[in-house]
Chains A and B, each alone.
Chain A
Amino acid sequence: MITLTDIHKSFGSKQVLRGVDLHIPRGESMVIIGGSGTGKSVTLKCVLGLVTPDQGRIEVDGQNAARAERDTFLARFGMLFQGGALFDSMPVWQNVAFRLLRGSLKRPRAEAREIAVEKLRRVGLSPDVADLFPAELSGGMQKRVGLARAIAAEPEIIFFDEPTTGLDPIMAGVINELIREIVVEMGVTAMTITHDMSSVRAIADKVAMLHDGVIKWSGPVADMDASGDPYLDQFIHGRAEGPIASVR
């Protein structure tokens, strides 16, 4: 469904992506892992058009992402941002129903609110959260609201950017479980970027490891532990020694 071919991206003299090739079939949950600064977020942003690749081609269902009509193209996506990226000037329900209150998916206000409350319930939040503002919520609740916003318009594809960063292990487990449930229940194609191995094991059907601007290894999550790839082994076991140089 999503195919990245030979994606290159540099920022000034820093070459972040040096030829990323990746294919995510429909209905599959792909998790991209890799150290900080390896270009995971940039890869994801390239697909969404938030960052323009210097070279390469991105296709969604065979359609060139660069030439697609933006609104129609983006209407297929939902995205959970690392920090939630909730709009702090509006209450939670308006955040969740943002897409349903304007644009091509616009619904009557009461109906949009009803859908928002239903989505909040789906991610484990009570209806009284709907009228609070994002600043009044804990980190875990903000992630849940972000998740509710990502699924509000029933997208075909959902991206999760570091979904458990900044959460305690229990809350991280809850969010991982929620993501897995939602991905299976909605039958969506999911792309997650993380360096949290518990997230990888909970969410992924397939895993791709990004290092030095290219995909070093990719395969089913079940094959990850026995891959024999020195880069992947070092990363998943969190070893300081290995081919991935660490800054001390």
Chain B
Amino acid sequence: MTVVITPLALFGRWALALLAAIGRIALFAGQTVAHIVKPPFYRREFTSALLHIGYLSLPVVGMTTFFTGGALALQIFAGGARFSAEAVVPQIVAIGMVRELGPVLVGLMIAARVTSSIAAELATMRVTEQIDALVTLSTHPMKYLTVPRVLAATLVMPLLVGVGDVIGIMGGFLVGTERLGFNGATYLQNTVEFLQLNDVVTSLIKGAVFGFIAATMGCYYGLNSGLGAQGVGRATKASVVAASVLILAANFILTGVFFSI
């Protein structure tokens, strides 16, 4: 009997802990949204977050999407050759980058770069009592630390995704024209004609959702970290894992919603 009950009890505990964590994160996200619309609003912190999350992420976003766009062109050309469809490279690179790879890769890179940095910074602030100091200085940590970061990430991520989409397509264009023998004007014409406004809009919406997830996870795990260096390390790791998994899950759901047939 024990042989059956012990694994069941373990599974039950795991399931309860998971549900409790989901509940806490959902509550935290809800509180963040509620605080966004309630004053005070810390403009200086928001501007600083825009710079750190947006502008300073451009190099990593650019490099990631450029190489992915180039590799995608090579793959599609090689795959397409099996059924004489090499000519679809511009269209597939464009739709692949804009609908899927652009938002997801930018989201994951932001999770790696921004979520980790937010979680480590806030966890260190917690360990060194800076969060308590904020409270004693009549400043709500949620308003001062979370709202500017989450709002900045949500607003700037569509721009990053847009830039990433364009650079990814450019990567494909360079490989297509320099290596695969495509005519430059024809490549661009095929790309522009094939893409629809809906593709671009959904890409940017995905970006906003992924930005919200990335910053919220960083703030949640940072503000709720354990004590000591180990606590900071755990919070950072957990935030990146949670953000990455949630971004991929959200991508699946959003794709289903936007493109369900």
Contacts and interface: CB of A to CB of B under 8 A. Distances in A.
Contacts of A85: 128-130, 132-133
Contacts of A102: 40, 42, 139
A81 interface: yes
A102 B136 CA distance: 13
A207 interface: no
B129 A98 contact: no
B68 to A, nearest CB: 33
Nearest to B144: A102
Interface residues of A, number: 24
B6 interface: no
Nearest to B136: A79
A45 interface: yes
Contacts of B197: none
B139 A87 contact: no
Contact of B133 (A49, A70, A87): A87
B253 interface: no
A156 to B, nearest CB: 14
B50 to A, nearest CB: 15
Nearest to B124: A88
A246 interface: no
Given A102-B42, A103-B40, A81 B132 contact: yes
A48 B137 CA distance: 11
Decide if the interface of chain A is mainly helix, strand, loop or mixed. mixed
B128 A83 contact: yes
A165 interface: no
Contacts of A79: 133, 136
A74 B135 contact: yes
A87 to B, nearest CB: 6
B138 interface: yes
A128 interface: no
- Of B128, B130, B138, chain A has the most CB atoms within 10 Å of the CB of B138
Nearest to B130: A85
A96 to B, nearest CB: 11
Contacts of A83: 128-129
Interface of B: 40, 42, 125, 128-130, 132-133, 135-139
Interface of A: 45, 48-50, 70-71, 74-75, 77-79, 81-83, 85-88, 98-99, 102-104, 149
